[in-house]
Amino acid sequence: MASSLAAAIRSSLGVDVNLKEGHGGIFEVSLDGNIVYTNNRECSCRPSNEEIVQRIKEYSPGFIKSNPGCCCSTPAMEAVPEIFTGCCPPGASGAGNSNTSCCCTDNSIATSVQPKRQFLIEFMFIDLSVCTRCQRTESSLEEAVSEVARILEATGVEVVVRKIHIQTEAQARELGFISSPTIRVNGRDIQMDVRESLCESCGDLCGDDVDCRVWVYQGKEYDTPPKAMIIDAILKEVYGGSDKSSEPPARPVDIPDNLKRFFAAMQNKL
């Protein structure tokens, strides 16, 4: 977004454009230090590149064309909110600044944008059509993400959920998948101590005895991970509860016999 606007300004106005890293998802366009557009006030409308360029021309035609490097004689900045967005209220940064004492050495326009930081959650499972544990885990994960995503979005963090259907032994080995279902937060299993019990649903699916994961939270065992358990794992990862300096644990080179039996049984049914 910022790069395309910068190109449009250079092409249309022939002025220098500087891109600067912003903060917290804020996007701003400033003219010699004076803000001419900002979404810092949670403005939902953002003019197109063409509109911003045209409004720059309308706002200061003499400045862009004839400024020789002397002190600026631009119109009062309180006009900027109406001209550019109608979203920046009186009293915001730049409003009421007549800009009569600044000296401009060049005609530069700066834009800043802070892209959101992505936060990856992987949900890995062997079946969602029959396995009740996988189905309920998916529902619990979706509820947890729905609640925590609203909080993290305000801090510039975007939660991305990737659902992965593990269908073969080779795929399980490649991904280090050792128990179904699995939830990983930025590459880390939210429960490293794997516990399992007989899963009748998966047994009916493949025709053999298969164990699925049992979740342990606050000293109790659950067939489905509690929503609070998932939220705790996400927030600990985001806000430093895990060791950020270390890489995720090394993945095993082989998978348990339990999963081998399941995939072999499923293959025999084809």
Region of residue 86 (phi > 0: left; psi between -120 and 50: alpha; otherwise: beta): left
The count of other CB atoms within 10 Å of the CB of residue 226 is 15
DSSP 165: E
Domains and CATH numbers, the chain: 2-113 (no CATH), 117-269 (3.40.30.10)
The confidence score (pLDDT) of residue 191 equals 93
Cα–Cα distances in Å, from 240 out to 100, 185, 200? 47, 13, 38
The confidence score (pLDDT) of residue 200 equals 94
Predicted TM-score (pTM) of the model is 0.57
Main-chain phi, psi angles of 264, to 5 degrees: -65, -40
Type of residue at 27: F
Confidence check: pLDDT of 41 > 70: no
Strands (DSSP E) found in 60-156: 108-113, 117-125
Confidence check: pLDDT of 69 > 60: no
The confidence score (pLDDT) of residue 40 equals 55
The confidence score (pLDDT) of residue 126 equals 96
At 121-176, the pLDDT tens digits run: 999 999 999 999 999 999 999 999 999 988 888 888 889 999 999 999 999 999 99
CA distance 138 to 116: 25
Cα–Cα distances in Å, from 119 out to 21, 46, 122, 189? 20, 26, 10, 14
